[in-house]
């Protein structure tokens, strides 16, 4: 942050947009026209169009004390791709709207954009438009992602059926533990000039929090294996919350097993170190960006062959409700205790 710093106002809105987007190449055949007109233009002849949108607000969703701008850009893009994969589709285009306060320079915004563009490159997505304006305080990032899927491949939340198996990709709770760790080191660093944060042996937690990936690989694996989930969503607010969404949209109940919830050993160690409940972190931590999906019972053998996917339970009739079977054999109701961005509101300035 002590490199050359250019005030954004010296470029103006169009100068800034030109600068940030001048060498963008479009890679998807559906992207006909990108940045530079009133609208982006796309062509989707034989597929359905999917649209998802997410807004990230400084001080609510991220803290620039410990989140590098490049990582933030990468994550902001990837969480939108994740929503498209969660419908069994493929992300194709994004638009990026930014509100920037005066403390951000051109170089800061370049870092943010470099993260967004890296994510686009890796996932094969075109940046086709956006809006750049100022804010009175802090940074706001709003990204809309457009994707596609053949009509018969789209998976909604509402298709889960009694006896379906409930599956989860990857592992849960690591991102939340990464956040706890970053917060702890932030507090420890307060007022110290040459503070070195203690992340050894916990790199996975930090990476899951700062640079999550969307599970394109799982979508591709499932397709190759000829498995179409009956319902699916990505885990952004926490497994509990997402399970309840699927059960409510599908009008079913569920049973999952505590000892089947996939947890990385770094997550477990960190929970112990912080004296936190591990299962609570895995169930309610959120920001995992793993896929939660259901498949018909008879596909049990096929799904077992796929690495990185775990069957954690099954769908039931609606009257049985949503519950977890604990290690000691008790049933515990699953309640949506996912992160609520609206309860997290803190007003900083008197209005």
Residues 218-277 that bind its own copies (CB under 8 A): 233-234, 249
Exactly one of 45, 193, 224, 298 binds its own copies (CB under 8 A); which one? Answer: 45
Tokens of 78: 């990837």
Site for its own copies in 322-341 (CB under 8 A): 336, 340-341
Alpha helices in 128-213 (DSSP H): 174-189, 203-210
Give the shortest CB-190-to-its own copies separation in angstroms. Answer: 17
> Per rule CB under 8 A, is residue 130 in the interface with its own copies?
yes
167-179 in b/e burial notation, b at 16+ Cβ within 10 A?
bbbbbbbbbbbbb
When binding is defined by CB under 8 A, the residue of 20, 128, 205, 299 that contacts its own copies is 128
Residues binding its own copies: number (CB under 8 A): 82
Give whichever of 25 and 346 is closer to its own copies, judged by the CB atom.
346
CB of 242 to its own copies, least distance (A): 10
Determine, following the binding rule CB under 8 A, whether residue 41 of this chain makes contact with its own copies: yes
147 phi/psi in degrees, rounded to 5: -145, -175
The nearest distance, CB 257 to its own copies, in angstroms, is: 25
Least Å distance between CB 215 and its own copies?
A: 13
Which of 6, 24, 33, 321 is in the footprint of its own copies by CB under 8 A?
Answer: 33
Q: Hey, how many other C-beta atoms are within 10 angstroms of the C-beta on 325?
A: 16
Q: Is 105 left (phi over 0), alpha (psi -120 to 50) or beta?
A: beta
- Give the range of 155-163, 196-204, 266-274, 316-324 binding its own copies by CB under 8 A: 155-163
* Residue 131 binds its own copies, judged by CB under 8 A: yes
Q: What angle do CA 318, 261, 236 make, to 5 degrees?
A: 75
Question: Would you say the C-alpha torsion 287, 146, 243, 152 has a positive or negative sign?
Answer: negative
Of the residues 5, 27, 29, 44, which one makes contact with its own copies according to CB under 8 A: 44
DSSP classification of residue 164: P
Q: Does 16 bind its own copies (CB under 8 A)?
A: yes
What is the distance between the alpha carbons of residues 346 and 34, in angstroms, rounded to a whole number? 37
Nearest-angstrom CA–CA distance, 171 and 156: 22
Task: For residues 83 and 141, give the distance between their C-alpha atoms in angstroms, rounded to a whole number.
Answer: 16
Question: Is residue 103 a contact residue for its own copies (CB under 8 A)?
Answer: yes
- Select the span of 49-57, 262-270, 293-301, 326-334 touching its own copies (CB under 8 A): 49-57
Nearer to its own copies, 326 or 340 (CB): 340
Nearer to its own copies, 106 or 182 (CB): 106
**Of 288, 129, 267, 117, which Cα lies nearest the Cα of 201?**
267
């Amino acid at each position: 942050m002590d490199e050359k710093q250019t005030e954004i106002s010296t470029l103006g809105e169009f100068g800034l947009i030109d600068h940030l987007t001048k060498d963008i190449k479009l890679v998807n055949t559906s992207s006909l026209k990108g940045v530079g007109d009133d609208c982006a233009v796309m062509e989707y002849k034989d597929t359905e169009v999917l649209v998802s949108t997410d807004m990230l607000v400084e001080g609510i969703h991220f803290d620039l004390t410990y989140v590098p701008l490049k990582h933030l850009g990468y994550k902001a893009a990837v969480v939108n791709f994740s929503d498209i994969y969660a419908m069994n589709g493929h992300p194709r285009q994004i638009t990026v709207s930014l509100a920037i306060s005066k403390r951000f320079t051109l170089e800061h915004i370049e870092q943010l954009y470099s993260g967004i563009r890296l994510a686009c490159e890796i996932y094969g997505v075109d940046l086709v438009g956006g809006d750049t304006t100022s804010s009175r305080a802090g940074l706001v990032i709003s990204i809309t992602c457009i994707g596609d899927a053949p009509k018969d491949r789209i998976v909604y939340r509402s298709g889960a059926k009694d006896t379906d198996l409930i599956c989860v990709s990857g592992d849960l709770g690591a991102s939340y533990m990464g956040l706890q760790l970053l917060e702890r080191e932030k507090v420890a660093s307060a007022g110290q000039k040459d503070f070195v944060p203690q992340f050894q042996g916990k790199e996975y937690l930090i990476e899951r929090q700062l640079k999550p990936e969307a599970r394109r690989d799982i979508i591709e694996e499932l397709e190759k294996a000829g498995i179409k989930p009956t319902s699916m969503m990505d885990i952004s607010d926490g497994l509990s919350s997402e399970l309840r969404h699927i059960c409510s949209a599908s009008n079913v109940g569920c049973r999952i097993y505590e000892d089947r919830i996939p947890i990385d050993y770094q997550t477990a160690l960190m929970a112990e170190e912080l004296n936190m409940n591990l299962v609570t972190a895995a169930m309610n931590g959120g920001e995992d960006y793993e896929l939660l999906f259901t498949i018909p019972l008879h596909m049990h053998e096929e799904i077992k062959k796929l690495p990185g996917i775990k069957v954690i339970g099954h769908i039931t009739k609606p009257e049985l409700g949503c519950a977890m079977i604990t290690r000691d054999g008790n049933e515990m109701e699953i309640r949506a205790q996912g992160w609520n961005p609206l309860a997290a509101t803190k007003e900083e300035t008197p209005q």
